[in-house]
Structure 1
């Protein structure tokens, strides 16, 4: 299967640069795989699509304000760090700009001395390992000094950093938001619960690899990036009960989908409590074992995310839906509108 098969024309002006004031005011394109029909609604309509006995699965990861602007202590030169992954208590793998100014031993200070960091290693891809020094709680300092690492296609500055977090974000660790969840508000979630829909949480920390383009011609040759996931005993129980009772499991976002399918693939379709690293790559031909329906945003052409949603409906159905979304001027990507792929059964 060719990567080019998942291409489509996307006018740049449809890439949403800022979030809407009301999270639920975004538009919702509903895809019905059975009849291959499309419906246009506002996102709040999702309440009508969920039914008693269903389970809505949300990714509760919290985005780190992982971009730090500092100065090289020796020269005063400006240095930008992007935290990628914590390796030890106070050591992080990072991307650095400009990398050529940072050697092992280089000291960088942030926030007029609130935070110091020393380069203690170099990485194969050009990144650096930094060991941080501070007084107090690291994450509280990071919340004060750090900036959200917004995706490269967003060029507007974000006035309120919480708008790049879901309202239920809890587990710190993501380099990017699970953006399908940005449409939900607490009142909407309460209304969903009141309808008899169970809400379960998984955690998958989104890595920067989610923005990496597919650089091979054949999708079977693409190596997926690895991301950390965690599923609790409570979530496993709720999802298995839903399936046993004939309810639908509706994943919010590709990250929730990848988490559930990773676990179900390892345990004969059952969800168990576990954590680990996943590099699952879902594309057309994949047999879904846990997820029945999917709420998702509109993704980049030729991306692994478009391939995943095409596996749940079909490539033809999804590309038709995307063509319709472009014609109707839906907003695309992180701060854009949403799509709901109804369960096929």
Structure 2
């Protein structure tokens, strides 16, 4: 049975200080375990907690579950340019601006492109362009404009026939989460990617998926647990701290979402059976699909480029449709626009008071205090999040990106 939730509060008035717990630095997993699937797995099922290993996951999932993965791939988005004086300027690519805003297209761009970026040591970049040499080529960066909180950087490169994805692979560095507070190791290039990572464009990994191995995927098949994939390119905003006293003053980051027609058809066919996302990004994506369907029901002629879920849309819709109706509306909308996939952006915030439309559980790691990810967990299991985190702390679970996992079934 899929659990539905009734909206009880307005999350705009939530105080982030109510979502805090003590996380000692030594409990943050700074490095991955030698074997991906040997992490611990905390099972929360209808108020009860039990300890398992991640290899137990297939046997713990509800029968006839559909497990939905995010197949985004982390790109080497950190670029270190050395000035002639020896100083290092770091440029961190956030999202594309021109000639394409779609990440999938931007990664295949040749010759030149413009991205929204963060710059480290910007004050030392007085003027002119920066160059970064790599085997067989050169990448050049020029500042086009400064905007609130970021810069627009125009990149050009030789050989011009290379794609931007190939350039980043040649001369970029993997962007580890800032809270790891350590240098890259050779292992990070593979271990900070899921084994099913496919669509290049994320600057942070969907870390709930880091525990999966071919062995676990095969075990899922044996348990007749079906799997499906979508793509949400995780942005640096996933680490954005909540500085506002109440959530109404916190602006969620927007992320790009890609889904295919077969996925939406599979979700419709799964109606009435458990749909379990792997990670908060998959959950935000699935729930965003519902709200996109709601939007096209209200605006059938909405242009494709205006497919967007705003932060507070779920809490401002007065008569939300049935989930199957919303998903079928998306399929009809795709037919009308002769589209075999949807590209949209979502700024959705899932917090206590949210009414789940698609998801009935969650596979996820343990998140930072006072984070929007912790709000999402609380939206799913209510105040029990405190009991879950207290148990994890008392039983030596490892926290954050390279940490242990949980299966949350309200």
Query: 1:1-345, aligned counterparts within 5 Å?
Result: 1-32=14-45, 34=46, 36-72=47-83, 75-88=85-98, 89=109, 90-103=113-126, 105-111=128-134, 114-124=137-147, 125-135=149-159, 136-156=162-182, 157-160=184-187, 161-243=189-271, 246-267=272-293, 268=321, 269=323, 270-271=326-327, 272=330, 274-314=342-382, 316-342=383-409, 344=410
Separation in 2 of the partners of 1:266 and 1:96?
34
Say which SS state the counterpart of residue 179 (structure 2) adopts.
Answer: coil
Preserved CA contact (<8 Å) 1:31 1:340 = yes
Q: Distance in 1 between matches of 2:372 and 2:274?
A: 24
Output the CA distance in 1 between the equivalents of 2:133 and 2:33. Answer: 32
SS in 2 for 1:144: helix
Q: CA shift at 1:52, angstroms?
A: 4.6
Kindly indicate whether the alpha-carbon contact (under 8 Å) linking 1:300 and 1:306 is maintained by their aligned counterparts in 2.
yes
SS in 1 for 2:350: coil
Alignment check: 8 A CA contact 1:198 1:238 kept: no
Distance (whole Å) between structure 2 residues aligned to residue 220 and residue 69 of structure 1 = 36
Report deviation, 1:255.
Answer: 0.3
* TM-aligned CA deviation for residue 114 of structure 1: 2.4
Distance 2:56 2:248 in 1: 37
SS of the aligned residue for 2:262 comes to: helix
Deviations 1:264-309 (A, max 9, x none): 1232324345221100001011000000010000000010000001
CA distance, structure 2, for counterparts of residue 105 and residue 196 of structure 1:
59
User: TM-score, structure 2 length as denominator?
Assistant: 0.78
Unaligned regions of 5+ residues in structure 2, if any? Answer: 1-13, 99-108, 294-320, 331-340
Distance 1:190 1:104 in 2: 55
User: What's the offset of the Cα at 1:127?
Assistant: 2.7
Scaled by the length of structure 1, the TM-score of the pair is 0.93
Q: Is the alpha carbon distance of 1:112 and 1:201 closer, same or farther for their aligned partners in structure 2, counting shifts above 3 Å? A: closer
Q: What do the CA deviations read for 1:247-270 (whole angstroms, capped 9, x no partner)?
A: 200000000000111111232324
Contact in 1 for aligned 2:81/2:130 (Cα 8 Å): no
1:76 shift after superposition? 4.8
**For the residues of structure 2 that align with 1:334 and 1:87, how far apart are their CA atoms?**
28
CA distance in 2, matches of 1:98, 1:17: 26
1:130, distance to aligned residue in structure 2 (A): 2.6
Structure-1 separation of matches of 2:90 and 2:247:
34
CA distance in 1, matches of 2:156, 2:191: 28
Aligned-pair CA distance for 1:111: 2.7
Q: What is the aligned-residue RMSD (CA, Å)?
A: 1.7
Check the 8 A contact 1:16/1:335 in 2, yes or no. yes
| 1:91 Cα offset (Å) | 2.0
